[in-house]
Chain A
């Protein structure tokens, strides 16, 4: 029997940790964190359902986004320092961060909830649509954590579901 969920559950902390760990191939620790603001210095991923309805957002701090991108591509840590200094992600870091956020959609796709996929990755230095900014700032259904990737460092992540 198929059961339809009234609302999309937040991904489990262990699910997020294991997914990132498996993806980058390095040990990852997870602890509680503060909400990551969806301001223009950070990276915001927007997830939509099959009707293009806004379903979820994931916000990652700029240094964390650079660390995710570097770890996925086995890039030297200097790439992270460059991103923080320049307040932007290079092409490859941006592409790699997008891929990590794309794969993180799997943590939102649970049985009974409508299928979602990554629709857009904003930032850094890009204005957010108002509805995305409002979702990212919600105080209710959210997961705020810090992922510590061995050899790369901390990634501040906020997951917010609609």
Chain B
């Protein structure tokens, strides 16, 4: 399975990938994009089984990315990895069709809790 990691910070993408590996999901191929617009092309080209996306990004936000994907009928499991960890933002994420929200800074356990239902180890 491919996992798409979308974040405008390359260091944060690196940390997300490292945490995926530490959580036991290291066997999956990772593809990366630095904003929502890039991610749309990435999803079309690679058809990932999971999208992990930041919320606030220049160009196209993670929320806009999710809305665009759902409008296209794309139901790829989508999880935010973001500093937006308030109840209100979690509700917005879920309403928009996200399977979950992992707040930065995150732990290996947070990845396991949210992702173990959709990502095989």
Contact = CB atoms under 8 A, between A and B. Distances in A.
Interface of A: 19, 22-23, 72-73, 92, 95-96, 98-99, 102-106, 109, 111, 115, 117-118
A106 B10 CA distance: 20
A19 B104 CA distance: 9
A98 B104 contact: no
Interface of B: 9-12, 14-15, 56, 83-89, 103-105, 107
Contacts of A105: 83
A56 to B, nearest CB: 14
A23 B104 contact: yes
Contacts of A72: 11, 15
Contacts of B83: 102-106
B86 A103 contact: no
B104 A95 contact: no
Contacts, number: 44
B10 A95 contact: yes
Tell me what chain A mostly uses at the interface: helix, strand, loop, or mixed. Answer: helix
Contacts of A22: 105, 107
21 contacts: A23-B104, A23-B105, A72-B11, A72-B15, A73-B11, A92-B11, A95-B10, A95-B11, A96-B9, A96-B11, A99-B9, A99-B11, A102-B9, A103-B105, A104-B83, A105-B83, A106-B83, A106-B85, A106-B104, A109-B85, A115-B89
Contacts of A99: 9, 11-12
Contact of B9 (A19, A95, A106): A95
Interface centre among A72, A92, A104, A111 (most CB of B within 10 A): A72
A53 B9 CA distance: 25
> Which 5 pairs across A and B sit closest by C-beta, in order of nearness?
A22-B105, A23-B105, A99-B9, A103-B83, A73-B11
Contacts of B103: 106
Interface centre among B11, B14, B88 (most CB of A within 10 A): B11
A61 to B, nearest CB: 21
A117 B11 contact: no
Contacts of B88: 115
Nearest to A95: B9
A118 B56 contact: yes
Contacts of A95: 9-11
Given A19-B105, A111-B86, A115-B89, A102 B56 contact: yes
Contacts of B86: 109, 111, 115
A22 B19 CA distance: 13
A98 B87 contact: no
